[in-house]
Every structure is written in C-alpha cells, then in structure tokens.
Amino acid sequence: MPITSPILRRGLIYFLPVLLLAGLFYLKATHADAASGRRVGFTLNDGATGVSIRELVPGYPAERAGLRGGDRILEIAGRPIRIESDYDLVAIDFRRGEPVPVIVDRAGQRVTLTLAPGVAVSWGSLLLDLLVAIAYVALGLVAVGQAGQDVRARLLYLYSLAVAAELSLPSEPVNLLAIGLWSTVGFYLISGFQMGAEIHLSALVPERPMWLRKRPWLVPLFYGIGGVVAASTAIAILVETKGGSLPWTSSQAEFLLLDLGLPFWATTLALLLGERFLHHPRREGRQQAGLVLLGLLPWMCVVFFLAGRQLLGLPTVAVPQAVWTLVLLAFPVAVFVAIFRYQLFDIELVIRKSLLYGALTTSLVLLFYAALGAGGALFARSLEGGRESVWVVSAATLGLGLIFNPMRKRLQRLIDRRLFPESEAFRQRALGMVAELPARGKLPRMGEYLCDELCRTFGLHSATLWIAAPPMGQLMSLAASGIALEDSEQTVLLAPDDVGLRALTRGARPMPASQLERAGGSLATRLRGAGAELTVPMLSHGRLVGLLLLGAKKGGERFVAEELELLKVLAGQAATVFENARLFESATFEGLTGLYRREAVLEILDREWSRSIRYDRPLSIALADLDRFKWINDRHGHLAGDLVLQRVAAELRAQLRETDFIGRFGGEEFLIVLPETQLDGALRLAEKIRERIEALEIPIETGEPLKVTLSMGVAGRAEVRADGKTRARPLLSAADAALYTAKRNGRNRVEAAEPDFGSS
C-alpha cells in the first residue's frame, strides 16, 4: 500500500534511518566498551596440541601478567581450554580489572599466572567512525531531499546509508555469537549491496550513457555479482557457526568477495568514471565525473596496493581500521563539492548554501564542544579538580564563544568564494549597482540607471520603478527600461491603504504579480497593464518607498530562490539610497512636481543674474501660469489637479536643456531660467512649450482626459534696465508683467516684456 501522507513519507525517509543508525552506533559504542573490558592483548593459534599464544601486544594485560609467546593455555578461571572457541566462551565472563587465574604450559612446565583483563576504549577511532558516518548520512539526506525523478539521487541516498550502516556495525566482537555473528553477516551483505549500487551510480554520472540505455539488463548484473558472492559468504558463516558445512567454505567465499571482488569493483569504477572524465562532451560533466573519481581514488589506491602485494606473493599488510575510515571520508567530501559546485543534482543555490552553512555550523559546534570537553578533562586531571581548573575551563569557554561567530562568518565567505564563485560575482555585480546610484545625481537618473542595470543583470524584458511621493503616498512612475519604457505612466495614483500595497509591505519580500492580481485592488489593475511578472517592495524602516516591477526573463526562466533573496536585499539597499536622495532633494526640490522650490529657483536666478552682469552674457526667464486651474480643482478635485501639475511639470522639464532651470514659483505658476539665451530664443522656446502643453491629454479616473493651456511671460536681461542691482528682481518683474499681459489678451499665449522695462 503506497504511503500518501507527506509527513509520514518524510519521517520514513529522513528520521527513521537516522534513528536506526543512531541506535546501531550506540550498540557499537557499548559493544566496544564491553569488548575492551575483556581484551587481554594476545592472539591465539588453534593447533593440534591445543591453543597457544601466537603473539602479544606490548603493554597490554597479557604481557603485564607474564604470559609469553608460545605458551599453551590449559585453563582460564578453572575452565579447560582445548580449542579457540572455548576461550571465546570463557572471555564472555571477563570483567574489566577483575583478576582471572590462567594456567599455561611453558616448555613442559605448568605455570599459574593472574590476568587482569581490560584496556582503554579507542574513543578516537569511534569518534572518527561517527563523523564519517554522519558525513554519509548528510550526503544521503541532501540527495534524497532533491531526488524527484533522479535515479542517481535515490541511489546515492541508499549507498550513503549503506556505508553509514557499515561504519555503525560493532567492529570488535568478542565472539561470533549474537551481536558479533550478525555484525559480521551484516558487513558482508552490506558490502555486496555497496558494490552493485556504487557501480550503478558511477555508470549514471553525469547522466545515463547510451550503452546502458541499450543494455538495461546490465543493471541487475551489477547487483547480482556482488549480491551472490556476499550472500554466499554470509550463509557459509551462519552454517559453519551451527557446525554444518557447504560445498564452499566461508574463507573461500570471503576470498572471492574481498581479495578478488574489491579489485574488480575498484577497476570497474575507475574505467566508468575515467571514461566520462576524459571524453564527456560537456565541461561540467567532465568535472562531475572527475570529482566523484577523485573521491574514490584513496580507496582505490589502498585496494590496488593490497591486490598488487597479493599478486606478487608478498606478505599481507593489515590496514588499520582508522585508515579505511579516513579513506572512506574522501567520497562524501568530493560528492558534496560535485553537488554544490558543479550541480551534480538540480538543487537550487539557496538550498545548497543553506545546507552547507548548516553543516558548517554543526561541525563547528561539535569541534568546539569536543575541544572544550577534552581541554576541560585535561586541566581537571592536571589540576586535580581544584579551583584553578574551573577558571581555566571558564576562560576556554569564553574564548571559544568569542571566536565562534567570526570564524563561522569567515568560513562562510570562504565557501562562497571557493564553491560559488559565479554566484558571488553575480551577487557583487547586482549589489554594486546600488553603490553606483548616488553618482547618477537626481532621482530620475538614478531610477533609469537602476532599471537598465536590472534588465541587463537579470536578463529581463522590462523593469519599472514606482516611487512613493510624500506626503500623500502617491506612486509615481520614476523610470522604466525595456519594453515598459514606451508604456510607462507618469503617475499611478495608488492609495497607501491599497490591499496590494499592504500585502507587499507586510510580506517585505518579492511577490509574483499574479498573486497580487488575485488579491484585487487598484495595484492589481495597474500590474496587468504594466506587464510585470514580479513585484519587489522597496522598504525603508518598514515604510514603502517604492516598487520595482520586473518583467519576464528573456530566456523564459523563472526567478529562483537565490535571485528572490538577492532582489530583496538589493531593494532594501536601494530604498535607503532613494530615501536619502529624496530627503536631500526635499530641501531644494518641490515634492509634488520634482521641480526646484521657489526659494531654490530664486537663488539660482540671482546667481545667474550676477554672472550675466559680470561677464555680460545673455540671460532670459519665463513665467508660465496654467489657465483656469481653479476650475480644474473645483470640477475634478485636488487629486486631479495634482496630476495636472505633475504632467505639466514633466512636460516643461522635458523641453529644456541641461543648462536650464525650472522651479515651481507658486500654486500653478512656474519660473524658467534660461542662461546664455537671448530674448528671441526664449520666445521660440516658450511658444514650443505652449504648443506642447496645449496638445497634452491627461487621463483621470473621474472622466474624459483633461486638456489644459498655459500663458507665459518672457523677459531678457538686455531688455531690462538693471541700474547695477545685484539681484534679479527687475527681470522677474518684467516677466510677471508680460504674463499679466498674456492673461489679459485671452490666455494660452506668449508675451514678451516691454523694452527698457523698469525705466523711470
């Protein structure tokens, strides 16, 4: 019956194997403790005359008791020892440090000795086994967490758990009964499965080759070879333990599995991965195969070394268990790098980073805990538990606590640089655009630069920036790039309590435009027309500063989790920059229209007036006033009036040169300063502006688009009598008089100041 509950399935996949392995390793540790308590430090030889001591371990209880190599054991604890299994049965009752009488035959003499069993537990070896087992479990969980339909991920999960189980099996059995027997049987069965699974997995790196697709029957063969030999070995051991016999012995089957099977296993892996490493068409595929091969290389070297000695007839070398464990550690490390650096499996970058960061933090905690525990125990012993040891341990704890966070951050930066260089470069490039914003000057240029860079960096069709204009919170389209540029609206007129804006402010993260459209509200309507796929809020201290509307990617890809996180950070930093720039401009620029304030534009006019007089350079100004603006406010409301002012201000600004200045002089009145401009040039520009405003249509939500006109008065310094004054009030008065004339003559017209205005 299939398991449909996702929670139950996750528990079976993630937690159950971990709990089983933890229990198995606990059994291994307790068994190792019990075995070390019974160990005496000799090896036995089961001969025709009885059981004799073959060799002694220096410094162990057997040597300290006076036993010698060649002694024939007669009795232990009053029980006769005729064969080696008799010793195994007696040793079960050994207790650490409890004296046991031993009678041996030494050169024909009967010698009675007292043996005190027990040696120190090899906790270092156990800890090493545990760490490597944890590495394999972590590798398996990373793989199965992204398995999906990827057979390689499921194979890696099963193979990793098999290796972790092998490392968790009791490795120091006192006898071949109970735990020791089943530990041995389990070792051979797991080894047989590992052979098939690892060959199968290596054949699929970086993907299933054509020869395997054409010959799917090879997959069962991978498992069949190792499985049959491993099962034969396990069955022979079980039968021989019960006193039975088979056509083959356990030694023969073990020779076939280990002495012949291991070299065959290693050679097959080397050929499979080596061929893909040398000849795969994709560079990334060669890197993946090469890394997996590199992870298996230490194990292969040991296997080939032992096989070579056997082939040459040289004596067998006993490889310490710790060496085998360290050799096994290379594989998960290499596969981790293949996953996280070269995308062996399709795991999103943000997930890969979080997994690595989590593993790094856990490893540091374990390392610091082990260092603190070992150091504390050392000082406690050396200082005999005195008051000084408490201070030493406390100081060590404080020191480790102080360096933990800096070390973790430093290692995380190292991981980013080494394993994710492209991602780190992309992140730095994206965040670098924010650092460039202040150099662009005014808000519109900053917005244009940001939109252009977003399109270029993320490969977008379009990007639009809406900025909230204080104090009313209206969203104004500040800049657009790509296909959004031609369709951008200058003012959006969204209420701050719009349901979509509230959702963005509360969420404080990028949200798909489709999700906001389902929420309804005015924002949803605007998003449909803007062609936005993703909406990114720009928040400063929890307040909405603006919105980034990002179009679809040119390649059709979706925004991945790392990009969403990066956009969130980028938008937050950009919000701070735009807010600071707006605060700086607020003292100079008027909030509604973005033009210079009255005081600022008058200061500019006085400066240009002084420069014009000092260097005898031309200077002209124009005063523009919207016609019948009060009627617009009364008929359509002040929001519509604000919209008219914004659109007219934008049109005025668009017609001017970079060297010209414009400010809001009054409610619906604008002052234009034109340096290096004669009166006739100013009149031509004013007439062009009047025609542009007359042709302007301003859409409003309360009815048909509005059409407006303006009247303008133009004055030049050459036509105004200054009388040596250092301020431009005469020029301003002349333009104001010309504006009054334009209004009096029917509005929607341009008038020039009278020559010699201001003369007595």
Q: Which two tokens stand for residue 567?
A: 């956009």
Q: Supply the DSSP symbol for 491.
A: B
Catalytic annotation present for 668: yes
The three-state (H, E, C) secondary structure of 177-224, written as one string: CCHHHHHHHHHHHHHHHHHHHHHHHHHCCCCCCHHHHHCCCHHHHHHH
For helices 499-507 and 522-530, what crossing angle results, to 10°? 80
Residues β-bridged to residue 534: 512, 550
- pLDDT value of residue 728: 82
All residues at 6 or more sequence positions from 573 whose CB lies less than 8 Å from its CB, including other chains: 431, 434
Task: Give the Å distances, CA to CA, from 222 to 204, 264, 293, 300, 711.
Answer: 13, 12, 18, 18, 91
Structure tokens at 72: 């024939």
Q: Distance between CA 439 and CA 446 in Å, rounded?
A: 8
pLDDT of residue 672: 94
The pLDDT value recorded for residue 298 is 87
Selection from 103, 108, 118 nearest residue 64 by Cα: 118
Helix axis angle for 421-436 and 387-419, nearest 10°, is: 90
Give residue 354's pLDDT.
55
Q: What is the pLDDT of residue 444?
A: 80
Can you tell me the distance from the alpha carbon of 481 to that of 452, in angstroms, rounded to the nearest whole number? 6
Residues 6+ apart with CB under 8 A from 286: 276, 277, 278, 280
- pLDDT for the residue numbered 363: 59
Strands 669-675 and 703-707: unpaired
Q: Is the dihedral of CA 81, 83, 86, 87 positive or negative?
A: positive
Q: What is the pLDDT of residue 474?
A: 65
Residues of the chain with pLDDT under 70: 1-14, 145-149, 172-180, 336-404, 408, 411-413, 415-426, 469-474, 482-497, 518-522, 524-525, 528-530, 561, 585, 702, 722-726, 756-760
User: How far is the C-alpha of 229 from the C-alpha of 314, rounded, in Å?
Assistant: 26
Measured over all CA atoms, what is the biggest interatomic distance in the chain, rounded to whole angstroms?
A: 149
Q: From the candidates 166, 254, 533, 668, give the one annotated as an active-site residue.
A: 668
Q: Which residues is 463 bridged to in the sheet?
A: 481, 550
**Alpha helix locations (H) across 204-260?**
210-214, 218-241, 250-254
List Cα–Cα distances, 384 to 195, 379, 633, in angstroms: 52, 8, 90
Going by the DSSP 8-state scheme, the letter that residue 314 receives in this structure is: P
Query: CB under 8 Å to 523, separation ≥6 — which residues?
Result: 494, 498, 499, 500, 501, 516
pLDDT for residue 101: 93
| CA 248, 254, 259, 265 torsion-angle sign | positive
Residue with tokens 């070579």: 308
DSSP string, 279-328: H-SSHHHHHHHHHHHHHHHHHHHHHHHHHHHHHTTPPPP---HHHHHHHH
pLDDT value, residue 351: 46
Q: How far is CA 393 from CA 362, 382, 399, in A?
A: 22, 12, 10
SS3 72: strand
Please give the single-letter amino acid code of residue 619. Answer: L
Contacts of 368 (CB under 8 A, 6+ apart): 400, 404
* Distance between CA atoms of residues 451 and 538, nearest Å: 14
Q: Is residue 480 within a helix (H) or strand (E), and if so which, with residue range?
A: strand 474-482
Integer Cα distance of 497 and 500 in angstroms: 8
Q: Say if residues 73 and 81 touch (Cβ distance below 8 Å).
A: yes
Terminal alpha carbon distance of the chain? 107
* Cα–Cα separations (whole angstroms), residue 660 to 422, 644, 677: 45, 22, 10
What residues contact 413, with CB distance under 8 A and at least 6 apart? none
Encoding tokens for residue 29? 């540790």
CA quadruple 715, 719, 720, 724: dihedral positive or negative? positive
Pure H helices in 312-348: 321-342
